Structure 1
Amino acid sequence: MKYSSILLLSLSLIGTSAVAGDDLRAGLGGALGGVVGSAVGNAVGGSTGSTIGAGIGGAAGGAVGAKRGDKTEAAIGGGLGAAGGNILGNAVGGSTGAMVGAALGGGAGSALGSSMGDSDDRHSSGGRRYEGRRYAHDNGLHRGHHKKHWKHRD
């Protein structure tokens, strides 16, 4: 019964990710990865294995769900959120609470990490410091580095 609910949750999360935005898709991937990692880790190594599995699964799911430029941030957020959620959920509700906590923490961490990656990309110049001043001294003849040394003769 426990694995059928995990399968149902997995299918519903995959189905809704097709219509989701970028940050929401990363969050759903982190939640799904956290749940699956928590279940597999619990079967292999108890509560410690559950925490490790949730962290690895949340990181992997967040990275898969995020868009190209935000994979690292989403993976870090998903891994930390799923592991932390797993620990808190285990303290509150046992192994079922650990899976719920891993899903919530992995989803929130991945979405937040993906969003932080977006805001960083929008506010940075991307290494192009002088892009706006490229042709500031152009005389209109577009002659490259010779533009001040050439004279236009009619």
Structure 2
Amino acid sequence: MRITIPVLLLGMLGAQCALAAGDGTSAVGGGIGGALGNVIGQQMGGSTGAAVGAGVGGAAGGALGAKRGSKTEAAIGGGLGSAGGSVIGNQLGGSTGSTIGAGLGGAAGGAVGSNLADDGGDNRSHGKRHGHKKNKHD
């Protein structure tokens, strides 16, 4: 438990990489949520609980930090990124690696999910009116 603060700080540092894409809030939310969920899950259920906790925490954090139209995609990205990062990190570095991986994976997944939602399928007119003008003749 004494390594929790340094691990969270390292996760937040890794989340800064995603800020360049303009998805900072969903990236930070996914990273912090994934790391916190991982730590809580480790305490409750070992490595499996850590992966589940990271996924739930990353999804919640990604959704909370995302803009209105991209919450679902950011939640999916944050959850999958956190859970995958937790599993890979556990294989590479035990429980500490699992927490770091969950934070970094959640940050990346939240940013990518939010970015994909912003880019996908937008065929609105963006304020341009395409109607017919009515001319008044006096």
> TM exceeds 0.5?
yes
TM-score w.r.t. length of structure 1? 0.74
The alignment's C-alpha RMSD in Å is: 2.7
Gaps of 5+ in 1: 142-151
Counterpart CA distance in 1 for 2:65 and 2:58 is 10
2:81/2:108 contact within 8 Å kept: yes
Counterpart CA distance in 2 for 1:132 and 1:42 is 55
1:6/1:36 contact within 8 Å kept: no
Counterpart CA distance in 2 for 1:58 and 1:95 is 17
Gaps of 5+ in 2: none
Deviations 1:68-103 (CA, angstroms, capped at 9, x unpaired): 111111101000000011111111111111111111
Q: Which runs of 4+ in 1 moved over 4 A?
A: none
1:97 maps to 2:97:
yes
Counterpart CA distance in 2 for 1:65 and 1:36 is 15
Counterpart CA distance in 2 for 1:68 and 1:3 is 31
Counterpart CA distance in 1 for 2:34 and 2:102 is 5
**Quick one: higher RCO (CA 8 Å, sep 6+), 1 or 2?**
2
Equivalences for residues 114-125 of structure 1 within 5 A? 114-120=114-120, 123-125=122-124
> Between Structure 1 and Structure 2, how many residues are aligned?
132
Equivalences for residues 54-133 of structure 1 within 5 A? 54-120=54-120, 123-125=122-124, 132-133=129-130
Counterpart CA distance in 2 for 1:139 and 1:43 is 69
Partner SS, residue 29 of structure 1: helix
TM-score w.r.t. length of structure 2? 0.82
Equivalences for residues 18-33 of structure 1 within 5 A? 22-33=22-33
Determine what percentage of the aligned residue pairs are the same residue.
48
Partner SS, residue 30 of structure 1: helix
Opposite residue 140 of structure 1, the aligned amino acid is N
